């Protein structure tokens, strides 16, 4: 059974207190939907950029934004695919978060990996052979993960440990997330994509346990801006072989590093949110979570127009007008919009009463 070895030091305790202070402060801010939507989308783009950059992606943050909105760059097909796939994985992560599940399922992690690597909503089986991590400069083995025959059991034990720890509530959530990240990277259950999937798992643990910070933070930026520190914190054991000491290693150094990054990221979010919060409006983030990504995009149109047409919708979403018409019919059935007019060509749509409160006044 997985039983991590660590100590809770005074320095770590201080970082945990700082995380909690920022979390409580941000939760009390009356952030308007317009500000919240902007901060969330910015965080998603930042996470996509830095999490793929850690793995060697060469696109800049501005180029990542272009790619997400359909842009392309010569000889950057692989980089573009990585960015799109990670962004899709973040979409799936949001679906998992909105389910409000009380536990994390192993299949969900496998699907996240499938999206990261192939862009497909399909679980990826664990590796069937040995993999190694090498120094890119000289090819020397830095770390040899456990054998393939042990991976399934180790992953099952990790997920069981995460869920049990969240339920018993003995450890602070940031520490559980830190240990989850470390152990996933230690098991290295796939030939590729382990780092990106570990960071997604971390976000899932935090979000499902009340540390999502309204979805407006990015830990990936903290890692990427000092990669040597990130890898050094993960490299605990002196031996490069999993079976020669890695299991018993004291991982206090990693937990301290991880929580330091959380404290830094959360403090930055608090500053940004405080600067932009409109104290005249209520926080309607609970309503925003009911909307899918396309509906959230539509809020920008309704912010400027009482009535909108299928042509406007098609242009904003980059779809055919017939598809926009079908989408509007679905939204009418769901109570998101209301029809005005009978003829398809002249028909317009108005936001239903439930969602009007999300519009800036």
| Topology adopted by domain 291-356 | Arc Repressor Mutant, subunit A (1.10.10)
- Beta bridge partners of residue 349, listed in sequence order: 308, 339
Q: Which helix (H) or strand (E) holds 349?
A: strand 348-351
Determine whether 241 is exposed, middle or buried from the number of CB atoms within 10 Å of its CB (0-12, 13-18, 19+): middle
pLDDT of residue 279: 46
pLDDT of residue 285: 67
For residue 250, the number of C-alpha atoms closer than 13 Å in the C-beta half-sphere is 7
CA distance 161 to 167: 10
Most confident of 8-17, 224-233, 308-317: 8-17
| Nearest-10 Cα torsion for 249, 251, 254, 258 | 150
What's the mean pLDDT when you consider all of the chain?
88
Which token pair is 19?
């995380």
pLDDT for 46-77, tens place per residue?
999 999 999 999 999 999 999 998 899 999 99
Q: Which helix (H) or strand (E) holds 360?
A: none
At the fourth CATH level, the homologous superfamily of domain 10-276 is Fido-like domain (1.10.3290.10)
- Confidence band for 124, pLDDT divided at 50, 70 and 90: very high
CA distance 225 to 158: 28
Q: Return the domain boundaries, the chain.
A: 10-276, 291-356
pLDDT for 254-263, tens place per residue?
999 999 999 9
pLDDT of residue 147: 96
Most confident of 37-46, 89-98, 135-144, 315-324: 89-98
Domains 10-276 and 291-356 share a fold: no
pTM of the model: 0.77
CA distance 361 to 351: 15
Which token pair is 336?
């998101």
pLDDT of residue 283: 58
Q: What angle do CA 352, 356, 359 make, to 5 degrees?
A: 140
Q: Other CB atoms closer than 10 Å to residue 60's CB: what's the count?
A: 12
């Amino acid at each position: 059974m997985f039983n991590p070895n660590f100590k809770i030091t005074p320095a770590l305790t201080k970082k945990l207190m700082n995380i909690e202070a920022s979390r409580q402060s941000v939760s009390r801010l009356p952030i308007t939907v317009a500000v919240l939507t902007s901060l969330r989308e910015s965080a998603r783009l930042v996470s996509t950029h830095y999490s793929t950059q850690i793995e060697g992606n060469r696109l800049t943050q501005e180029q990542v934004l272009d790619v997400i909105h359909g842009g392309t760059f010569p000889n950057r097909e692989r980089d573009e695919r990585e960015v799109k796939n990670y962004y899709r994985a973040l979409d799936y992560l949001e679906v998992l978060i909105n389910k409000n599940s009380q536990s994390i399922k192993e299949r969900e992690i496998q699907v996240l990996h499938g999206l990261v690597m192939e862009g497909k909503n399909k679980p990826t089986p664990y590796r069937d052979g040995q993999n190694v991590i090498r120094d890119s400069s000289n090819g020397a083995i830095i770390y040899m993960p456990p054998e393939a025959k042990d991976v399934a059991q180790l992953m099952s034990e990790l997920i069981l440990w995460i869920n049990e720890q969240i339920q018993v509530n003995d450890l602070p959530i940031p520490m559980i997330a830190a240990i989850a990240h470390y152990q996933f990277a230690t098991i290295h259950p796939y030939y590729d994509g382990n780092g990106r999937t570990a960071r997604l798992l971390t976000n899932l643990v935090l979000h499902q346990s009340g540390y999502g910070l309204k979805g407006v933070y990015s830990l990936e930026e903290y890692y990427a801006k000092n990669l040597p520190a990130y890898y050094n914190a993960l490299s605990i054991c002196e031996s490069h072989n999993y079976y020669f000491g890695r299991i018993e290693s004291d991982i206090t150094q990693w937990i301290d590093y991880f929580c330091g990054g959380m404290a830094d990221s959360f403090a930055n979010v608090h500053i940004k949110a405080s600067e932009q919060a409109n104290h005249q409006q209520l926080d309607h983030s609970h309503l925003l979570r009911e909307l899918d990504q396309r509906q959230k995009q539509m809020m920008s149109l309704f912010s400027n127009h009482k009535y909108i047409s299928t042509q406007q919708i098609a242009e904003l979403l980059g779809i055919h007008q017939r598809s926009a018409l079908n989408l509007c019919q679905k939204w009418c059935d769901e109570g998101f919009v209301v029809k005005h007019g009978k003829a398809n060509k002249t028909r317009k749509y108005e936001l239903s009463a439930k969602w009007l409160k999300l519009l800036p006044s």
